[in-house]
Amino acid sequence: MIRAVRLLHEGAPRAGRLLEDDRVEVLEHDDPLAALNGNGTVSATLELSQLELLPPVHAPEIWCAGVTYERSRDARLEEAKTDARDVYALVYDAERPELFLKDADMRRTVGPGGEIRTRSDSQWTVPEPELGIVLGEGGEPVAVTIGNDVSSRDIEGANPLYIPQAKIYAGACAIGPALAAPDDWEASWTIRLQIHDEAGRELYAGETSTARMKRGPLDLAAWVVRDNPLPTGSVLLTGTGLVPPDDYTLEPGHVVSVTIEGIGTLVNTVAKNRRGE
């Protein structure tokens, strides 16, 4: 499987092809989708550990699908505080999925090693590890990556109409570390989540598979571009099947690691919120 990254090289962003021995062929352009297609002149070959990685694609738009796993549906029902809680059960069984715009032009999204955030007005925030689909020209899926759809569960639970505020704020998304071009788009992907505190103590660990999704990634990709032209390089995060216990919330200093075999591990640290609290 071909993998591509983006990195800083001699002060400029560059695309690179990731080799099996953890070296990177640095290319003379900054187009990771072209790198997946084998296009570009190699200017240097460096060790991955020596590089500062950027988000693997500068996504013009990032979209999310919700309630695509049974575990996610159950978590939404548990957190809901109003009679509108039935909307989660209804959308899980419906033909039409829940889709929402998470970010545009990477204003709220960080890459590998970047700092994710909690909202200053939320008391209960969790990571949501997800398989991401990168869309090419015409909305066709061309690659996969890892995403973290950070979400304020208490705000969403107060009222489903608060979902944009629960989901869309500075530092609420991370993608990376690489793009991968799947050999088989029907294959399932194992997703692992680990959370550690500043001292390295494990706070949560879990594992799921995209085989447990109610709707497949390609079906979701077809829905997100229906009557909705997405720019090339946009990303669709396909929902989470991993939900930490209700007594857990992200705190400053916590380290979140999301691993999908064949793509890599996306690691991010929780920063202080924008008010410095």
pLDDT in tens, 223-247: 999 999 999 999 999 999 999 999 9
- pLDDT value for 188: 96
Among 29, 53, 77, the domain-final residue is 53
Instruction: Clarify whether residues 206 and 71 are in a common domain.
Output: yes
Per-residue pLDDT band at 277 (split at 50, 70, 90):
very low
* Percentage above 70 pLDDT, the chain: 93
Q: How many domains does the chain have?
A: 2
Mean predicted lDDT score pLDDT of the chain: 93
Residue 276 forms part of a structural domain: no
- pLDDT value for 83: 64
Q: Is the pLDDT of residue 108 over 50?
A: yes
Residue 277 forms part of a structural domain: no
| 127-184: pLDDT as tens digits | 999 999 999 999 999 999 999 999 999 999 999 899 999 999 999 999 999 999 999 9
Tell me the residue range of the domain where 28 lies: 2-53
- CA dihedral sign, ordered 121, 154, 251, 51: negative
Instruction: Clarify whether residues 49 and 183 are in a common domain.
Output: no
Instruction: Clarify whether residues 76 and 174 are in a common domain.
Output: yes
The closest alpha carbon to 31, from 1, 63, 2, 56, belongs to 56
C-alpha 167/C-alpha 273 separation (Å) is: 15
Instruction: Clarify whether residues 12 and 93 are in a common domain.
Output: no
- pLDDT value for 5: 98
Per-residue pLDDT band at 80 (split at 50, 70, 90):
low
- pLDDT value for 85: 64
C-alpha 132/C-alpha 217 separation (Å) is: 9
Instruction: Clarify whether residues 72 and 179 are in a common domain.
Output: yes
Give the pair of three-digit tokens for residue 99.
């889709």
Instruction: Clarify whether residues 113 and 227 are in a common domain.
Output: yes
Average pLDDT over residues 263-274: 89
Which residue type sits at 119? R
Instruction: Clarify whether residues 215 and 116 are in a common domain.
Output: yes
Average pLDDT over residues 183-197: 96
The alpha-carbon radius of gyration of the chain (Å, integer) is: 18
C-alpha 149/C-alpha 146 separation (Å) is: 10
Name the β-bridge partners of 269.
Answer: 115, 255
Of the chain, the end-to-end C-alpha distance in Å amounts to 43
- pLDDT value for 87: 84
Instruction: Clarify whether residues 128 and 199 are in a common domain.
Output: yes
- pLDDT value for 89: 83
- pLDDT value for 57: 98
Instruction: Clarify whether residues 36 and 103 are in a common domain.
Output: no
3-state SS assignment for residue 56: coil
Average pLDDT over residues 58-67: 96
Average pLDDT over residues 202-209: 97
Residue 179 forms part of a structural domain: yes
C-alpha 259/C-alpha 223 separation (Å) is: 26
- CA dihedral sign, ordered 131, 227, 169, 84: negative
Instruction: Clarify whether residues 219 and 264 are in a common domain.
Output: yes
Instruction: Clarify whether residues 229 and 266 are in a common domain.
Output: yes
Residue 275 forms part of a structural domain: no
